[in-house]
Amino acid sequence: MAQSLFEKIWASHVVTPETDDTPAVLYIDLHLLHEVTTPQAFDLLRAKGLPVRRTDRCLATLDHSTPTVPVTTLKDLEVVSEPSAAKQVRQMEKNCKDFGIELRGFGSRDRGIVHVMGPELGATQPGATIVCGDSHTSTHGAFGALAFGIGTTEVGHVLATQCLLQRKPKTLAINVEGALPADVTAKDLILAIIGKIGVGGGTGHVIEYRGSAIRALSMEQRMTICNMSIEAGARAGMVAPDDTTYQYMAGRPLAPQGAKWDAAVAKWRQLPSDAGARFDKEVTLDASKLKPMVTFGTNPGMVIPIDGVVPQDDDPAFRKALAYMRVEAGKPLLGTPVDVVFIGSCTNGRLSDIRAAAKILRGRRVADRVRLLVVPGSAAVKREAEAEGLDEVVRAAGGEWREPGCSMCIGMNGDTVPSGKLSVSTSNRNFEGRQGAGARTVLASPVTAAAAAVKGAIADPREFAG
């Protein structure tokens, strides 16, 4: 029978099949770990006297609660961080040491946001099952992996058994045909998708993004798309691997090398969904009609084209969201004054994102009223960007160039948007208070964010074309 990409990966990882009474036992190939969602899981192992079953399948780093001002030692950290954040980092170091897991911590050339680091190192591979105590684990699906976020109890399960108990999810095919217009990015595409299917539209499903528009995307763009699957309620989103995938991966330190590489690619070529594979649900979009997108409300489904107006809706929750954002139904967002611009995160903190923003910033100045923060997604992104002089472009424009980390995406590391201030952010969540208590967040692409920084107001990046 014709199988989808998801079904092939699922079938090859079942240790014990599901029955009416019990979920499947699913084997996990790669477990990503960070400081925020693991301490209680390691405690569980200690309490039960259990070891980590496969330390070789763990990849650990520090990203969420770490500051983005220069910190190279734990001692520095205590100076700049909240005591609880420093304690969490110390605990992560201790847990990794006690259980024999290599930690890519401070001072590591590899350290970065876990979803930026995994692909960079070649740890993220097609056909694999990948989990992390983090909902944006869906990012890794860009490589044709089944990757999803789990809770801390499940982190404990994977540490102890390398397995998870799972019910087989449903599948949702999102077909995107046509070519994206200039200055319309992968971020705009995924925001448009979420706007179309809603923040609960993917609940219970694994999404496969398909069609000519998806095939044409680079790996970094595919990661941006898969990253925000969770914003549509889907735990996982995936793209079939192809030559773009293999070109990106070849030669990366944790990818197979030599003869093993050839064998792996031959195997990966069997992964794409068979012709005639069936999906539980299908949605189709025309990429050529899209425009740059911005959110106006307090969830990522509340999104409009940059030149659109805020819609009308009498639902009390909708009205509450508009009140929180201080925007008005029937009015455009274009021209709304902006206080903070954040370029970074696991959605848009990769080299191509920073390049795209720098193209607009080059030779221009950030408006006086705006604080611009550019935070590379990993130490590697930072090095590569600096090698191209992008840090200088950001600084010359009046922006801040920071150390890698989650930064203002989550506001638990010292980088926050002050209460009431409006932020244009390349991150993935515009929930109330996500970037700091009372902060108002507009999600956008790196070019739309850079345009806003220069104008001091929400602006159409297409004005800066050429």
Residues near another protein (CB under 8 A) are 15-16, 20-23, 25, 27, 36-37, 39-40, 43-44, 48, 50, 53, 64-65, 82, 84-85, 87-88, 91, 133-135, 137, 149-154, 156-157, 160-165, 167, 169, 199-200, 203-204, 230, 233, 235, 299, 315-317, 320, 410-412, 419, 429, 431-434, 437-438
Nearer to another protein, 230 or 306 (CB): 230
The C-alpha atoms of residue 323 and residue 366 are separated, in whole angstroms, by 28
**Among positions 68, 245, 428, 448, the unique one binding ligand SF4 when judged by CB under 6 A:** 428
Nearer to ligand SF4, 224 or 448 (CB): 224
In angstroms, give the least distance from the CB of 305 to another protein: 22
Kindly state whether residue 409 participates in binding ligand SF4, applying the rule CB under 6 A. Answer: yes
**Among positions 136, 210, 222, 402, the unique one binding ligand SF4 when judged by CB under 6 A:** 136
In angstroms, give the least distance from the CB of 22 to another protein: 5
Burial track 148-158 (b if 16+ CB lie within 10 A, e otherwise)? bbbebebbbbb
Q: Are strands 340-343 and 371-374 parallel, antiparallel or unpaired?
A: parallel
Question: How many Cβ atoms are within 10 Å of 244's Cβ, its own excluded?
Answer: 17
Which option in ligand SF4, another protein, none does residue 382 bind, with CB closer than 5 to 8 A by kind? none
Q: CB-based contacts of 194: which residues, under 8 Å, 6+ apart?
A: 201, 228, 231, 232, 300, 301, 303
Nearer to ligand SF4, 408 or 459 (CB): 408
- State how far the alpha carbon of 117 is from the alpha carbons of 162, 224, 346, in Å: 21, 14, 9
In angstroms, give the least distance from the CB of 453 to another protein: 24
Q: Go through the chain and tell me how many residues it has.
A: 466
Kindly state whether residue 427 participates in binding ligand SF4, applying the rule CB under 6 A. Answer: yes
3-state secondary structure of 343: strand
Q: Which two tokens stand for residue 259?
A: 């003869």
231 contacts 346 by C-beta, under 8 angstroms: no
Kindly state whether residue 134 participates in binding ligand SF4, applying the rule CB under 6 A. Answer: yes
In angstroms, give the least distance from the CB of 184 to ligand SF4: 23
**What are the two backbone dihedrals, phi and then psi, of residue 274, each rounded to the nearest 5 degrees?**
-70, 150
Kindly state whether residue 448 participates in binding ligand SF4, applying the rule CB under 6 A. Answer: no
175 conformational bin, left if phi > 0, alpha if psi -120 to 50, beta if neither: beta
Q: Where are the beta strands (DSSP E) in 239-350?
A: 281-286, 293-295, 303-305, 340-343
**Binding residues for ligand SF4, per CB under 6 A?**
63-64, 113, 115, 134, 136, 345-346, 406, 409-410, 427-428
